[in-house]
Chains A and B, each alone.
Chain A
Amino acid sequence: MKSIRKHAAIFVAVLALVGVLFVVVPNLPAQNSNGVGSASFNRGSANFNPPPCDYNDTFYQDNGLDPTQLVGRFGTDRQTGPPATGNQVNWVADTNCGINDPNRRNFRILATTGGFPDDGSGSPTEFISILAFVANQTAFETTYSRTVGAINGGLDGDQQNAGSTISIANSQNPRSIAMQDIVSNFEGYAALKQRLPNGTFAMNPCAPDMVSPLAPATPCFPVNTVNAVFTPNLRQDWRFATNRNAMDGSDNNCVGTDPAVCPDGISDTPFGYFCDDLLGMWILTYFWYTVDPANPGPVCGPILAALDQKNGVSLDGTPIILTADELNNQLEANGCGAEGQEAVDGSDGGAVWLVCPAIPDPRNGAIARDAFLDQVVLPNGAPQNPALTQNFLSLQQSGNFPNNASVSKPQSQKPRSQTALGRGSGGVMK
């Protein structure tokens, strides 16, 4: 009899639990589709995948970066202006940030920058928040110490715990890794406009040590402020290296010495972007054309034409570059393009690193209702890459990629011959 009662109690408890689930679950799609009364796509589920916010100072320091040396930090600077336009703001105060994640400060980021993963797919599925710029190596802390978890007299004075120390010494964190070393493994690729206001096409950046010998050093396009990488100054959307391997190799990146895993003999970065690079930092690699698209020459001409056909054209009238293969093996290998980084002492004046964490999973609420897409647009205001817009809007409105697919391929873009941005159109500036 006792046993029956006991089992009946368990049965009732389970039934009640299932009932609660039935009550909750049907509401989710309704919230998803309506996004009722909140900036967030789904406030009910915001806790598990909240939209991005700036990190708090302590978290920056814990991860080896001096927050006072951040340039253009969201939450402090740049509330208006690029990438925001018109009435848009790049960030808003939001007290939920610190509640959802105690490592965040209460400024939620609305400017959501889109880009391409450098995995060869050409799919515009990356969404990042450019929280701040780092223009000098001195921003990386060399010494820092903070004790966490210390308890002195908890539980009526009985509990004592000295806590643990988060320390940085000689620039190395408690795992003996320098933040700078981690970050150097992750490259974010910026494509600055090379066409100057007077219509001249500059084939090198204005930074002496970045100049490619493939082209004249002057005229040059400016890279001497962090503003140089603001969206209005870009000819195409961002690209991001895809060596952001999972530590366990589950994403098929090469993380070991097993020939079956890494048959080319090259291991990808030992660091995991989402587990080591907790600030989501990237070293900024500028990439540019070293030939004038109006006169690319016999070697580069066919290469540019083929890329035109495949990817469409940038605001400069040069082909859009979507993959590492296109940049490294087609353009750079043939002397049609180059890449480089700014001097780490800040002497070039622009951004050397970015604090721009990628949104780990842009689905299910990470793209808030009031967020806006930061992407390169054509002079007529239309997006250069409509697929990016499509992905963003779908994620924002339904919490998923279009057609519930995990990714959406970009729409085929018109080659320069079919657009107003034909080769030599010159002076096409937004």
Chain B
Amino acid sequence: MIKMPSTKGRKVSRRDFLELAAVTASIGPFFLFPRRAFASQQTLKIAKWSHFVPEFDVWFESAAKNWGNEHDTKVVVDKLPLETIRATATAEVQVGNGHDVFIFPWPPAEYYEHAIDHGDVYQRVASKYGAIPQLAHRSTFNPKNRKYFAFADFWAPSPLHFFQDYWAEIGMPLGPVHYGSLRSGGRKLRDKFDIPCGLAFTPTLEGNVTLHTILYAFRAWILDGNGDLLFNKNVFASLALKYIQALYQDSGTPDQLSWGPAGNVEAMLARKTSSTTNAISLLRAAEKQDPRVATKIWLQPPLLGSNGMGVTALPHVTNCSVVWSFSQNQNAARQFLADMIDSSRTGYEKSLGCNFPVYPKTVPDLVVRLSKDPQADPSYKYSELKDALHWTPNLGVPGFATPAFMEVFNTSLVPRMVQSVLRGERSPEDAAATAAVEIQRIVDKWK
């Protein structure tokens, strides 16, 4: 029990009395007259992408409204399908009106001219949770104007999901480990059981992340560290495309070219494919829909890359919030973003572990949680993610998430290039060369 200090016998001096009176006079009115007494209640409008885990969105809306109640602010949350995020954001900046906070699942570098500098949001958070982590810095900093165009609070790793029982049948019970074995094992599975490999090659978030990861893992980098074109300036681009072509021909399915959003997830849930890369929302969905299927899905860190790239995969999600420069409630928006970091732990839980906190201090026992997950069977299944931060670089690596890189990403240039090869429309060399021209045009545009 905490003992309160005794004030017995203490006399109040004239000086103390005057100080108390002055303080009371200065802050008293704020207690007596709520903000709404001075002006009408402000509204904070938030647009956010629809999370893969619906429970997270339910919680987020509730948490945002609670924050609003505490700050005398009406909070409106609009959930947008992933596919409409970019169009909606573009429309808002074109008319200079819309939401106050716009939350993207990727770094919205393209909109840097319409965003406030979020450096002060990072500073507000720093006093509690430390300096900006690398992944956030490189995902939201514009080295050109040296401002932060967004604020990142969580990210989602993208491990390999594979059906252990399928892969055990062809002598790889622990998964394919490297890209060569993904191809050879995938071929055996398709030949033997008619179960194709299920990587997404579509112009969707899943396809974009998967294919950018493969390119990166084969050292076929889009831009160099300075943001200049690197793609197809060496043989890595065409070699990566040839690998994808061989993987598709040996072990794929035409469905990989036509899936809609989360098509790779649905195929896995139906046990129609042998493996894919995705956020763990896939496994969470399996745990909810069919626990028997979930027990057969194992996770593995990303595949070992080629040409010295090691084990690596880009993040499935980098949750980045933008306060538009035309927002009427910039201060409230800034405060909201900073305050939401306090809820990172709950966000992690409500997202069923999908949302890895940008600030590790907010979920200090992350590794323990991963090793003892209440939904997982076995409970330590998710511990494969414990070093995810080490194998997850930012979108735009080896440089920053620049406007040019993010336009390449958001226009699905890479999936389109890959599809042109897989559909037989272009050779890998031709597709790489054509894409390089398009990338150069984008780079030039942003210069």
Taking beta carbons and an 8 Å cutoff, which residues of A are in contact with B? 136-138, 140, 142, 169-172, 176-178, 180-181, 184-185, 187, 208-210, 212-214, 243, 255-259, 262, 264-271, 283, 324, 327-328, 332-335, 339-347
Q: Determine if B311 is an interface residue (Cβ-Cβ < 8 Å).
A: yes
Q: Determine if B370 is an interface residue (Cβ-Cβ < 8 Å).
A: yes
Pick the most buried of B173, B235, B242, B312: most chain A CB atoms within 10 A of its CB.
B235
- A244 to chain B minimum Cβ distance, whole angstroms, is 12
Complex partner residue of A333 from B177, B235, B384, B391, CB under 8 angstroms: B235
Q: Determine if B183 is an interface residue (Cβ-Cβ < 8 Å).
A: yes
Given the known interface contacts A185-B311, A343-B184, the answer about A258 and B174 at a Cβ–Cβ threshold of 8 Å is no
List B contacts of A170 (CB < 8 A).
Answer: 298, 378, 380-381
Evaluate contact between B180 and A345: CB separation under 8 angstroms: no
- A360 to chain B minimum Cβ distance, whole angstroms, is 22
Given the known interface contacts A257-B389, A333-B219, the answer about A169 and B378 at a Cβ–Cβ threshold of 8 Å is yes
Q: Determine if B199 is an interface residue (Cβ-Cβ < 8 Å).
A: no
Docked complex Cα distance between A187 and B360 (Å): 29
Evaluate contact between B310 and A176: CB separation under 8 angstroms: no
Evaluate contact between B171 and A327: CB separation under 8 angstroms: no
List A contacts of B306 (CB < 8 A).
Answer: 339-340
List B contacts of A340 (CB < 8 A).
Answer: 180, 306
Q: Determine if B225 is an interface residue (Cβ-Cβ < 8 Å).
A: yes
| Beta-carbon nearest neighbor of B170 in chain A | A345
List the count of A-B residue pairs having beta carbons below 8 Å apart.
143
| Beta-carbon nearest neighbor of A184 in chain B | B304
- A137 to chain B minimum Cβ distance, whole angstroms, is 5
Q: List 10 A-B contacts (CB under 8 A).
A: A136-B171, A180-B177, A181-B301, A184-B304, A264-B398, A327-B308, A328-B308, A335-B234, A339-B306, A342-B180
Complex partner residue of B178 from A259, A268, A344, CB under 8 angstroms: A344
Q: Determine if B45 is an interface residue (Cβ-Cβ < 8 Å).
A: no
Evaluate contact between B378 and A270: CB separation under 8 angstroms: no
Of B5-13, B134-142, B254-262, B329-337, the stretch lying at the interface with chain A is: B134-142
List B contacts of A344 (CB < 8 A).
Answer: 172, 174, 176-178, 181, 185
Interface size for B (C-beta < 8 A) is 53
Evaluate contact between A142 and B173: CB separation under 8 angstroms: yes
Docked complex Cα distance between A101 and B131 (Å): 44
Complex partner residue of A345 from B181, B242, B304, B397, CB under 8 angstroms: B181
Evaluate contact between B180 and A265: CB separation under 8 angstroms: no
Docked complex Cα distance between A417 and B371 (Å): 58
Q: Determine if B307 is an interface residue (Cβ-Cβ < 8 Å).
A: yes
Evaluate contact between A184 and B178: CB separation under 8 angstroms: yes
- A374 to chain B minimum Cβ distance, whole angstroms, is 25
Evaluate contact between A208 and B239: CB separation under 8 angstroms: no
- A372 to chain B minimum Cβ distance, whole angstroms, is 31
List A contacts of B112 (CB < 8 A).
Answer: none
List B contacts of A267 (CB < 8 A).
Answer: 389-391
Evaluate contact between A343 and B185: CB separation under 8 angstroms: yes
Known contacts A169-B378, A328-B219, then 6 further A-B pairs from the complex at CB < 8 Å, ordered by chain A residue: A140-B174, A184-B301, A258-B131, A265-B134, A265-B397, A347-B184
Q: Determine if B393 is an interface residue (Cβ-Cβ < 8 Å).
A: yes
Docked complex Cα distance between A185 and B173 (Å): 19
List B contacts of A271 (CB < 8 A).
Answer: 387
Evaluate contact between B180 and A209: CB separation under 8 angstroms: yes
| Beta-carbon nearest neighbor of B367 in chain A | A176
List B contacts of A346 (CB < 8 A).
Answer: 171
List A contacts of B391 (CB < 8 A).
Answer: 267, 270
Q: Determine if B374 is an interface residue (Cβ-Cβ < 8 Å).
A: no
Docked complex Cα distance between A342 and B389 (Å): 27
- A311 to chain B minimum Cβ distance, whole angstroms, is 18
List A contacts of B177 (CB < 8 A).
Answer: 137, 180, 184, 283, 341, 344
